[in-house]
Amino acid sequence: MKKREEEFRVLSTTAILGYGFPKASFEAGIRRKPHLIAVDAGSTDPGPYYLGAGKSFTNRAAVKRDLRFMLKAGIGLGIPVVIGTAGGSGARPHVDWCEAIIREIAREENLKFRMAIVYADVDKKRVRAHLKKGEIVPLTCVPPLDEATLDASINIVAQMGVEPLLQALDTGCDVILAGRCYDPAVFAAPAIRRGFDPGLAIHMGKILECAAIAATPGSGADCALGTLKKDSFILEALNPKRKFTRASTAAHTLYEKSDPMHLPGPGGEIDLTRCTFTQLPGGRVEVRGSRHVETERYWVKLEAVRRVGYRTISVAGTRDPIMIASIDSILEAVTSQVRDILKAEKIAGRIYFHVYGRDGVMGDLEPDKRILGHELGLVIEAVAPTEAESESLCSLTRSTMLHYGYPGRISTAGNLAFPFSPSDAKMGEVFEFSIYHLMPVRDQGIFKIRTVRV
């Protein structure tokens, strides 16, 4: 642990690597002489597909553009550049993808540096051993893990805390590229290594991981600066169009959390029962009182997915008031008719209707089922074990609905309007989250570190 300095400045470039940021905001941050340039590169928000497919949900050219700014500045100034949840989901394929981009930039810009790569992948044998001991705990609304689900799961990752990043920093590397991370960890670890308070460092990281989203007006494509001090931290925007307020900062502290006072993470939680937010001049906010409380056992969150088939969709709309008034009974009748045909043809699969203009966004959770508009958008979704079956199912459902004879129908030419030709779109493989559980760890050995010269 190094001697603590008076303050530690962190430049957070963007909410997710590849979302972009104004050059002027980045340069304003660099003029503040940060001790760290960091970015959170991923999330589970885009759903399970990207973890299962081993692909990034952010564009390669956009990621490369952001990284070029960060690497050139960090290497030039001699300050660490830390990237967490590489490639969007943080499994080995995603980390390798991001490493290739970094090497490409280094060649083009003639950069030379040492890089530590921290992998978050977890072997099934380790998970199985804990499962047999009854030590795998499901999170809220998640069923208990069983052997069959574990066997079907792919790309299992553990959400690392600050400890593996501290080990990587101790190697003296200039760039840290990490797999699946607890979002605040990449911002907090270098500060904790300098002797700053873990509670304040992690809380500051909790807000900085979304960069300027926590400002007003918020933006996921802009920079923010955090200044960590002995007993507080200060947040500020780097774009004159934005500012941090007490309300925006406090609100973002609660972002994605169910408990406003206790924010759990690997190995502990942030206790905010004594936290205060103070407005400062210049659109800045100072935060005090955040405390890190270690748990008796060190738990990490596991994430994994399983393949459930293939998806084909068809997008259509209707403006017929007679059809709109009877949409529920029509969808039920179409589903029943298609299922009879599927059964006879021995085609497996599931049909889903997303009705935009009624409950297309919230589905069964929509409290107001009234249809107030003059038109509806319909997405027909077919999921089946094979790609051919999903195409057949979607095609059959679309054609059945197109010509279904509902009571009161006047026009017989067709019930739906299609904005695209072809009307059906193959969406590829379908994955669902299969592991979203906690697992205890006795040491940080599950996170493997590799150092390379670039």
Say if residue 341's pLDDT is above 90.
Answer: no
* Higher-pLDDT residue of 342, 440: 440
SS3 355: strand
Please write the tens of the pLDDT for every residue from 103-113: 999 999 999 99
Strand spans (E) along 103-166: 114-118, 137-138, 154-158
4 pLDDT more than 80: no
Residue 348, pLDDT score:
85
pLDDT digits (tens, 9 = 90+) for 151-166: 999 999 999 999 999 9
d(CA 328, CA 402): 15
Q: What is the model's pLDDT at position 103?
A: 98
Backbone φ, ψ for residue 31 (5° rounding):
-65, -20
Q: Please, which pLDDT band fits residue 3 given cuts at 50, 70 and 90?
A: low
Whether 344 shows a pLDDT value over 90: the answer reads no
Residue 11: is its pLDDT beyond 80? yes
What's the pLDDT at 257? 78
The whole-number average pLDDT for the span 109-138 is: 97
Task: Find the mean pLDDT for residues 133-146.
Answer: 96
Read off the pLDDT of residues 224-269 as tens digits, 9 standing for 90 and up. 999 999 999 999 999 999 999 999 999 988 877 788 899 999 999 9
Q: For residues 216 and 193, is the Cβ–Cβ distance under 8 A?
A: no
If you average pLDDT over residues 400-406, what whole number do you get?
Answer: 95
CA distances from 48 to 94, 120, 193, 236 (A): 14, 17, 33, 33
Number of separate helices (H) and strands (E) present in the chain: 13, 19
Residue 62, pLDDT > 70, answer yes
Sorted by where each begins, the domain ranges of the chain are 8-303+435-453, 320-416
Say yes or no to pLDDT of 1 above 50: no
pLDDT of residue 343: 83
Sheet strands (E) in 204-349: 224-228, 233-237, 262-265, 268-271, 276-280, 284-288, 291-294, 299-318
Query: CA–CA separation, 137 vs 130, rounded Å?
Result: 10
Q: How confident is the model at residue 87 (pLDDT cuts 50, 70, 90)?
A: very high
- pLDDT tens, position by position, 187-234: 999 999 999 999 999 999 999 999 999 999 999 999 999 999 999 999
